[in-house]
Amino acid sequence: KNQVEQSPQSLIILEGKNCTLQCNYTVSPFSNLRWYKQDTGRGPVSLTIMTFSENTKSNGRYTATLDADTKQSSLHITASQLSDSASYICVVSATGNQFYFGTGTSLTVIP
């Protein structure tokens, strides 16, 4: 069964600290993996996309990693800011334009 699991479900960190969010998947055949940021009451916005051959991708303070062998991805946020408070959703695409969503990690950054 194609599934995407994210952990932790929620996370609270102090401003300026780093954090890492996890995504494990069983989707096959794999096409790509995206991390989305969703601000409260807004639509998800793509942060990074990685294909099978990529194992790291950065977007400013966001760095995503992908281990296609173990089917794991992580999103590392460096020097967190209050504006990083959001839900982060991992979406795995299977070949043929099939998408599988994780339930997200809710991140709260406190001053």
Partner 1 sequence: DADVTQTPRNRITKTGKRIMLECSQTKGHDRMYWYRQDPGLGLRLIYYSFDVKDINKGEISDGYSVSRQAQAKFSLSLESAIPNQTALYFCATSEPKTGLDGYTFGSGTRLTVV
Q: Which of 59, 68, 76, 99 binds partner 1 (CB under 8 A)?
A: 99
To partner 1, the closest distance from the beta carbon of 46 in angstroms equals: 6
Residue from 31, 72, 78, 85 touching partner 1 (CB under 8 A): that is 31
Per-residue DSSP letter, 29: S
How many C-beta neighbours within 10 Å does residue 62 have? 18
Cα torsion 39, 52, 21, 6 to 10°: value is 80
Give me the residue label for tokens 């294909």.
Answer: 51
What minimum distance in Å lies between the beta carbon of 28 and partner 1? 15
With CB under 8 A as the contact rule, the residue among 2, 51, 55, 81 that binds partner 1 is 51
3-state secondary structure of 65: strand
Stretch that binds partner 1, among 18-26, 44-52, 55-63, 69-77 (CB under 8 A): 44-52
